[in-house]
């Protein structure tokens, strides 16, 4: 506890004393007094808010008063700050994966947004590149782990737009952990973007989609029999559907009347004399 004698965030996370030459706190360790574990705390500065419309002092008690008081809140009154908090909280809902860091808490306090995540025993990729270049085999391993992490995010509809040599962590055991999704989502929300993926629309009932023909379709064939309409296959959350187009129908030869003779064919040309 002597190492964490600095500021306390949200009446829970104790920070270490900042270095004398530190200009701004961006990322630091912290001690969670509730769980008794060390965590990592990231700071995202928030834009200053001025209630210029209320000259008589009768404001709405919004974000400016909360920032001035320095109280921690997980649902800020300012809409922009609330969207940023909600975006980071939505990113934290992604299921745990060994290639992604786990986010525990998101809140706003003292004019900043704070993201509390697990403390990974790792160094950023920038630290390794500063020592020496990577050999091709190690670079391929790192790229493969990053792609695995991105595949997990894309499966849940997320796009990671904050991949740098500082958000790629190289663990002591050699594995790679991708971080920075929640912080990037909060920064995008502050800039007016919508980083949270839109939930996929529920599947339309087959009886409603084909006009009441049920699973057979208007041609009388089911989906397994290669029937009439195009089969819609979901590709992933937030993605466009993939259409499996059926083969064009083959035309059957004309039937001759019962008991009749086959239709006449044109006679071949007579051989020349």
Q: Are residues 99 and 30 in the same domain?
A: yes
Q: Are residues 170 and 40 in the same domain?
A: yes
Residue-wise pLDDT for 129-183, tens only, equals: 999 999 999 999 999 999 999 999 999 999 999 899 999 999 999 999 999 999 9
Q: Are residues 111 and 182 in the same domain?
A: yes
Strand 8-9 vs strand 13-14: parallel, antiparallel, or unpaired?
antiparallel
Q: Are residues 167 and 211 in the same domain?
A: no
Tell me the H-state helices in 46-175. 63-69, 79-91, 125-131, 136-155
Q: Are residues 33 and 137 in the same domain?
A: yes
Query: Is 8 exposed, middle or buried (CB count within 10 Å of its CB: 0-12, 13-18, 19+)?
Result: middle
pLDDT at 18: 78
- In the predicted model, is pLDDT for residue 264 greater than 90? no
Q: Determine contact, residues 139/146, Cβ cutoff 8 Å.
A: no
Residues in Cβ contact with 237 at an 8 Å cutoff, skipping those fewer than 6 apart: 155, 156, 157, 197, 199, 200
Outline where DSSP puts E strands in 61-145.
103-109, 112-118, 122-124
Q: Compute the residue count for the chain.
A: 273
Kindly indicate the confidence band of residue 57, based on its pLDDT and cuts at 50, 70 and 90.
very low
Q: Are residues 58 and 127 in the same domain?
A: yes
Q: Can you read off the two tokens belonging to residue 82?
A: 């609330």
Q: What's phi and psi for 173, nearest 5 deg?
A: -85, 5
Pick from 70-74, 92-96, 131-135, 149-153: least confident: 70-74
Q: Which domain holds residue 123?
A: 8-190
Domain for residue 249, yes or no? no
Q: Are residues 212 and 116 in the same domain?
A: no
Domain for residue 49, yes or no? yes
CA distance 15 to 43: 12
Q: Can you read off the two tokens belonging to residue 1?
A: 């506890």
Q: Are residues 136 and 213 in the same domain?
A: no
CA distance 60 to 103: 32
> Is the pTM here over 0.85, yes or no?
no
Instruction: Kindly list the distances between the CA atom of residue 212 and the CA atoms of 134, 202, 230, in Å, as whole numbers in the listed order.
Output: 61, 19, 16
Domain for residue 12, yes or no? yes
């Amino acid at each position: 506890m002597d190492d964490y004698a600095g500021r306390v965030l949200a009446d829970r996370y104790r920070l270490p004393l900042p270095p004398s030459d530190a200009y701004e706190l961006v990322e630091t360790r912290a001690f969670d007094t509730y769980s008794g574990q060390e965590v990592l705390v990231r700071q995202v500065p928030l834009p200053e808010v001025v209630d210029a419309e209320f000259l008589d002092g009768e404001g709405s008690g919004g974000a400016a008063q909360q920032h001035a008081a320095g109280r921690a809140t997980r649902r800020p009154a300012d809409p922009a700050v609330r969207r940023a908090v909600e975006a980071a909280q939505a990113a934290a809902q992604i299921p745990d994966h060994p290639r992604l860091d786990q986010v525990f808490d998101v809140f706003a306090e003292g004019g900043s947004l704070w993201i509390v995540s697990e403390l990974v025993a790792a160094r950023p990729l920038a630290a390794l590149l500063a020592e020496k270049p990577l050999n091709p085999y190690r670079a391929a391993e790192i790229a493969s782990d990053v792609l695995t992490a991105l595949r997990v995010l894309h499966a849940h509809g997320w796009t990671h737009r904050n991949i740098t040599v500082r958000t790629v962590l190289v663990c002591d055991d050699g594995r790679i952990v991708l971080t920075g999704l929640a912080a990037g989502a909060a920064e995008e929300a502050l800039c007016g973007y919508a980083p949270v993926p839109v939930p996929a629309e529920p599947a339309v009932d087959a009886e409603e989609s084909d006009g009441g023909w049920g699973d057979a379709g208007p041609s009388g064939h089911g989906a397994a029999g290669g029937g009439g309409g195009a089969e819609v296959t979901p590709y992933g959350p937030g993605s466009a559907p993939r259409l499996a187009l059926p083969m064009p129908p083959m035309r059957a030869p004309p039937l001759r009347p019962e008991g009749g003779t086959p239709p006449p064919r044109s006679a071949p040309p007579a051989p020349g004399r």
